[in-house]
Amino acid sequence: MSVLYLIPLWFILALLIPLTWSVNKVYSRSRGKRVVICPDNHRAANIELDARHAVAMHIAGNPGHKIQSCSRWPDRQDCGRECLAQVPR
Protein backbone atom coordinates (compact mmCIF):
# COMPACT_ATOMS: atom_id res chain seq x y z
CA MET A 1 0.00 0.00 0.00
CA SER A 2 1.34 3.36 -0.98
CA VAL A 3 1.49 6.37 1.33
CA LEU A 4 -0.41 8.36 -1.31
CA TYR A 5 -3.58 6.46 -0.43
CA LEU A 6 -3.39 7.83 3.10
CA ILE A 7 -3.30 11.49 2.10
CA PRO A 8 -7.11 11.80 1.63
CA LEU A 9 -7.64 10.07 4.97
CA TRP A 10 -5.34 12.52 6.76
CA PHE A 11 -7.05 15.43 4.99
CA ILE A 12 -10.49 14.24 6.12
CA LEU A 13 -9.26 13.76 9.69
CA ALA A 14 -7.71 17.22 9.66
CA LEU A 15 -11.15 18.63 8.87
CA LEU A 16 -13.27 16.39 11.10
CA ILE A 17 -11.30 16.64 14.34
CA PRO A 18 -11.70 20.44 14.81
CA LEU A 19 -15.33 20.27 13.66
CA THR A 20 -16.10 17.49 16.14
CA TRP A 21 -14.39 19.40 18.96
CA SER A 22 -16.34 22.57 18.13
CA VAL A 23 -19.70 20.76 17.90
CA ASN A 24 -19.07 18.96 21.19
CA LYS A 25 -18.23 22.27 22.89
CA VAL A 26 -21.46 23.91 21.69
CA TYR A 27 -23.55 20.85 22.62
CA SER A 28 -22.05 20.69 26.11
CA ARG A 29 -22.68 24.40 26.76
CA SER A 30 -26.26 24.24 25.48
CA ARG A 31 -27.56 21.20 27.33
CA GLY A 32 -29.02 21.06 30.79
CA LYS A 33 -31.39 23.19 32.77
CA ARG A 34 -30.61 26.73 33.87
CA VAL A 35 -32.29 29.44 35.90
CA VAL A 36 -33.17 32.77 34.29
CA ILE A 37 -35.21 35.77 35.38
CA CYS A 38 -38.52 35.85 33.54
CA PRO A 39 -39.06 39.31 31.97
CA ASP A 40 -42.85 39.02 32.46
CA ASN A 41 -42.95 38.73 36.25
CA HIS A 42 -39.26 39.27 37.20
CA ARG A 43 -39.13 35.90 39.00
CA ALA A 44 -36.86 32.92 38.52
CA ALA A 45 -37.84 30.40 35.86
CA ASN A 46 -36.19 27.11 34.90
CA ILE A 47 -35.51 26.66 31.20
CA GLU A 48 -33.91 23.92 29.16
CA LEU A 49 -32.28 24.75 25.85
CA ASP A 50 -32.52 22.64 22.71
CA ALA A 51 -28.88 21.51 22.36
CA ARG A 52 -29.39 19.91 18.93
CA HIS A 53 -30.81 23.17 17.59
CA ALA A 54 -27.82 25.08 18.98
CA VAL A 55 -25.42 22.68 17.22
CA ALA A 56 -27.32 22.96 13.93
CA MET A 57 -27.30 26.76 14.12
CA HIS A 58 -23.57 26.74 14.96
CA ILE A 59 -22.79 24.57 11.94
CA ALA A 60 -24.92 26.85 9.75
CA GLY A 61 -22.87 29.83 10.96
CA ASN A 62 -25.72 31.53 12.82
CA PRO A 63 -25.27 30.74 16.53
CA GLY A 64 -28.46 30.88 18.50
CA HIS A 65 -30.54 29.13 21.13
CA LYS A 66 -34.07 27.80 21.31
CA ILE A 67 -35.96 26.97 24.50
CA GLN A 68 -37.04 23.34 24.71
CA SER A 69 -38.94 23.65 27.99
CA CYS A 70 -39.75 26.27 30.60
CA SER A 71 -41.22 26.03 34.09
CA ARG A 72 -43.81 28.68 33.15
CA TRP A 73 -45.20 26.62 30.28
CA PRO A 74 -47.88 25.72 29.15
CA ASP A 75 -49.53 28.81 30.69
CA ARG A 76 -47.06 31.19 29.01
CA GLN A 77 -46.17 29.11 25.94
CA ASP A 78 -46.60 32.14 23.66
CA CYS A 79 -44.18 34.45 25.50
CA GLY A 80 -41.61 36.47 23.57
CA ARG A 81 -38.66 34.46 24.98
CA GLU A 82 -36.73 37.58 25.94
CA CYS A 83 -35.04 35.51 28.66
CA LEU A 84 -32.78 34.01 25.98
CA ALA A 85 -30.74 37.21 26.14
CA GLN A 86 -29.54 36.04 29.59
CA VAL A 87 -28.01 32.88 28.13
CA PRO A 88 -24.39 33.30 27.00
CA ARG A 89 -23.66 32.32 23.40
Cα 27 to chain center, whole Å? 5
Provide, for the chain, the percentages of residues in helix, strand and coil under a 3-state DSSP scheme, each rounded to the nearest 5: 50, 15, 35
pLDDT of residue 1: 59
Please give the backbone phi and psi of residue 31, each rounded to the nearest 5 degrees, phi first.
-95, 160
The structure's pTM equals 0.74
Interatomic CA distance for residues 34 and 45, integer angstroms = 8
Name the stretches of the chain with pLDDT < 50: none
The maximal CA–CA distance of the chain, rounded, in angstroms, is 68
pLDDT of residue 79: 86
